[in-house]
């Protein structure tokens, strides 16, 4: 048996798509899509949505979303979702163009608001007797 035959074809496709070391987490989620128990493409997509996005574990307890085992940050959740959908696409022989067009059913978070401008510290003056000190803190006469 040669190494390519050790994994099912779907898993091998995930290995090829996410071959780089930096893509190992996404390979795992791709294989979750491949190995899901769902019987239809739509059910597999729902499974990816549940796997990759945090929901409260306990109803009416928003804090319990932190117990969930999804990847975390919004960008990670989106990457996870696309990797999982790729696995579903491999499993159900869906054309790659259709797979690339799938978006999560979750609303995307709005971009963070613009930060207010930061106030600059007072200008520093330097002279022979006053190295880098604020101008208004030093009197013009010495004691």
Would you say the C-alpha torsion 60, 63, 67, 73 has a positive or negative sign? positive
DSSP 54: -
Which pLDDT band, with edges at 50, 70 and 90, does 48 fall under?
very high
Strands (E), the chain: 124-125, 133-134
Q: What is the pLDDT of residue 88?
A: 96
Nearest to 32 by CA among 20, 17, 14, 19: 14
Tell me how far apart the alpha carbons of residues 3 and 10 are, in angstroms, rounded to a whole number: 14
pLDDT higher than 60, residue 5: no
Prediction pTM value: 0.63
pLDDT higher than 60, residue 118: yes
Min mean pLDDT across 12-26, 37-51, 56-70, 101-115 is at 56-70
Q: Which of the residue ranges 49-53, 89-93, 130-134 has the most confident prediction, judged by mean pLDDT?
A: 89-93
Which pLDDT band, with edges at 50, 70 and 90, does 21 fall under?
confident
Q: Where do the structural domains in the chain lie, given as residue ranges?
A: 10-101
Work out the average pLDDT over 24-39. 93
Residue 62 class from Cβ within 10 Å (0-12 exposed, 13-18 middle, 19+ buried)? exposed
Polymer length of the chain: 143
Cβ atoms 25, 19 nearer than 8 A: no
Structure confidence by residue, pLDDT tens digits, 62-82: 665 555 556 667 788 899 999
pLDDT higher than 60, residue 110: no
């Amino acid at each position: 048996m040669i190494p390519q035959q050790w994994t099912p074809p779907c898993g091998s496709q995930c290995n090829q798509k996410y071959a780089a070391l930096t893509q190992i987490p996404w390979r795992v989620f791709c294989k979750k899509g491949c190995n899901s128990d769902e019987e239809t493409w739509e059910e597999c997509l729902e499974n990816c949505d549940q796997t990759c996005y945090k929901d409260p574990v306990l109803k009416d307890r928003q804090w319990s979303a932190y117990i969930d085992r999804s990847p975390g940050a919004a960008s990670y959740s989106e990457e996870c979702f696309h990797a999982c959908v790729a696995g579903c696409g491999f499993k159900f022989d869906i054309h790659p163009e259709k797979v690339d067009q799938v978006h999560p059913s979750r609303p995307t978070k709005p971009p963070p608001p613009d930060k207010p401008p930061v106030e600059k510290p007072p200008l520093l003056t330097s002279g022979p007797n006053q190295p880098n000190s604020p101008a208004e803190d030093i009197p013009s006469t010495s004691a």
